[in-house]
Amino acid sequence: MIPSEFDYVKAGSVKEALDLLKQHGDDAKVLAGGHSLIPLLKLRLASPAVLVDISGIKELSGVKAGDKSVTIGALTTHNDIEHDDSLKQSLPILAEAATLIGDPMVRNRGTFGGSLAHADPAGDWPAVALALDAKMHISGPNGERTVEANDFFVDILTSDVQAGELLTAIDLPVPSGNVGMSYQKFAHPASGYAVVGVAAVVTVEGGKCTNARVAVTGAGAKAVRLTAVEDALVGKELTDEHVAAAAEQAGDGIDYLGDIYASEDYRAHLVKVFAKRAVLAAAKNAK
Amino acid sequence: MATHPITLMINGKEQNSDVESRKLLVHYLRDDLGLTGTHIGCETSQCGACTVMLNGKAVKSCTVFAVQADGAELLTIEGIGKEGELHPIQEGFWEEHGLQCGFCTPGMIMSTYDLLQKNPNPDEHEIRHALHGNLCRCTGYQHIVKSIQYAAKKMQGAAAD
């Protein structure tokens, strides 16, 4: 499988990458780890005239831990996240999710920012980013802007990153208090993609849930927060019964995807099952 | 047709080439350099037969362009062991019957190489997790796991000597 012809340019800095994207306009695509883009090129589902390779831009890679939040460079690989000791302490859901992505070789190349910007409806990171209340830093011809995770995922394979822009870094607030988090995934047995994946972050004070963020990927065209489940959890003790009752609220407002492997009804069922599992696992981690 | 000059170290030897932008690393290795030990299985980033070490990390060479490897250090199955002297991982696959048809074996060995450099004493679960991206249709994996356990033991012994 050989892609159609294209030219290749390597950018040394964010500014250079933005200039190249401006110069080539709609003919250009950004290449980072390439593990979403290269398969599309090989199938000729995409045939850009120019690839702008940003993988050599040093400042876009790595994890910076702060007091109240961590910043992950867009080019940080899944493997880097899986094995980062500071993240295992501050935001353990990241390593838990990273180890479920693809396989070791895919994780060695695929990037956190690339996966988010690509907005695959079955990608794992979108649900985790929503549950962690991530903030996306985007650079473009008109300067920098920041987008909340809630507004970042627009539609199937469409994020808020516009043509000519680059996702540069992702801020993840580190929640304070007695917090537990977990990502639970029903993986497609062949591809490993999420048929349904649910990320949950819960705060438990005085035996009761005081805050919950629960998000799902794989179910519909884009990852979304399960706000009805979150509302049903707050104020409750996170027992099996209460969590199961809250998980039954999952699914409002999701336009379910159906395919040869999992029908719409099956996905709707899985969302409830995995919402329950993720919240219970998160609650267990909080104690 | 856009071509680019690239320079890389392959199995310890410097290599200079001109490659088309769209040439995949696996095609460059096999067709341009004759390094046909790296296999093409699925060509869709799933089977792992094309696994090579790129700057010290196992990657699927069907999902990397040759031009992206400019300036990199590459290790392929041809760079493991020496003529007439098997690498301990190769010896493990030989001794423990870790292959039947052998098609997946170069990729299995490269993934094992990556695993054992990070984790010299993996347990069975860690070995199976590390092989997640390598498919074998002959062995049922049991003998591959044993081969890797053999290699880990042998390499640890060598390190202790």
> Closest residue of B to A105, CA-based?
B59
Measured CB to CB, residues of chain A less than 8 Å from chain B are 1-8, 31, 34-35, 38-39, 41-42, 51, 53, 55, 79, 99, 102-106, 108-109, 190-192
Does the distance separating the beta carbons of A41 and B60 come in below 8 Å? no
Structural contact between residues A241 and A280, judged by C-beta atoms closer than 8 angstroms: no
Distance CA B124, CA B145 (A): 7
How far is the alpha carbon of B136 from chain A, nearest alpha carbon, in Å? Answer: 14
**Contacts (Cβ under 8 Å, ≥6 apart) of B157:** none
Q: Is the pLDDT of residue A252 over 80?
A: no
Looking at residue B67, its amino acid is V
How far is the alpha carbon of B51 from chain A, nearest alpha carbon, in Å? Answer: 8
Share of chain B above pLDDT 70, in %: 99
Q: What is the mean pLDDT of chain B?
A: 96
Instruction: Please return the burial class of A176, using the count of CB atoms within 10 Å of its CB with bins 0-12, 13-18 and 19+.
Output: exposed
Residue B46 contacts A, CB cutoff 8 Å: yes
- Helix count and strand count (H, E) for chain A: 12, 14
**Residue in A229, A231, A235 with CA at minimum distance from that of residue A278:** A229
Distance CA A199, CA A97 (A): 9
Does the distance separating the beta carbons of A104 and B111 come in below 8 Å? yes
Structural contact between residues A136 and A160, judged by C-beta atoms closer than 8 angstroms: yes
Mean pLDDT value of segment A275-287: 95
B43-95 pLDDT, tens per residue? 999 999 999 999 999 999 999 999 999 999 999 999 999 889 999 999 999 99
DSSP state of A162: P
Distance CA A66, CA B161 (A): 44
Residue B48 contacts A, CB cutoff 8 Å: yes
Does the distance separating the beta carbons of A4 and B22 come in below 8 Å? yes
- Tell me the two tokens of residue A193: 């993609």
Q: Given this model, what pLDDT does residue B158 score? A: 79
Residue B125 contacts A, CB cutoff 8 Å: no
SS3 A55: coil
Distance CA B116, CA B123 (A): 11
How far is the alpha carbon of A73 from chain B, nearest alpha carbon, in Å? Answer: 20
**Residue in A145, A262, A254 with CA at minimum distance from that of residue A193:** A262
Lowest mean pLDDT among A64-68, A159-163, A210-214, A279-283: A64-68
SS3 A158: strand
Q: Contacts of residue B31 in chain A, CB cutoff 8 Å?
A: none
**Residue in A237, A250, A247 with CA at minimum distance from that of residue A210:** A237
Q: Given this model, what pLDDT does residue A66 score? A: 86
Distance CA A249, CA B62 (A): 43
B3-51 pLDDT, tens per residue? 999 999 999 999 999 999 999 999 999 999 999 999 999 999 999 999 9
Share of chain B above pLDDT 90, in %: 93
A117-136 pLDDT, tens per residue? 999 999 999 999 999 999 99
Does the distance separating the beta carbons of B132 and A6 come in below 8 Å? no
What is the value of pTM for the model shown?
0.96
Q: Given this model, what pLDDT does residue B161 score? A: 63
Distance CA A155, CA A118 (A): 11
A171-184 pLDDT, tens per residue? 999 999 999 999 99
Mean pLDDT value of segment A191-211: 96
**Contacts (Cβ under 8 Å, ≥6 apart) of A55:** A10, A31, A32, A33, A75, B68
Q: Which run of H or of E encompasses A90?
A: helix A85-90
A2-39 pLDDT, tens per residue? 999 999 999 999 999 999 999 999 999 999 999 999 99
- Tell me the two tokens of residue A18: 């933005």
Q: Given this model, what pLDDT does residue A165 score? A: 97
pLDDT band at A190 (very low <50, low <70, confident <90, very high): confident
- Tell me the two tokens of residue A113: 């920012």
Does the distance separating the beta carbons of B4 and A6 come in below 8 Å? no
Looking at residue A35, its amino acid is H
Mutate to test the interface with B, among A105, A120, A185 (most CBs of B within 10 A): A105
Return phi, psi of residue B93, to 5°.
-65, -35
Q: Contacts of residue A5 in chain B, CB cutoff 8 Å?
A: 1-2, 20-22
A·B CB contacts under 8 A: 77
Distance CA B39, CA B25 (A): 12
Does the distance separating the beta carbons of B130 and A8 come in below 8 Å? no
A85-110 pLDDT, tens per residue? 999 999 999 999 999 999 999 999 99
Structural contact between residues A183 and A93, judged by C-beta atoms closer than 8 angstroms: yes
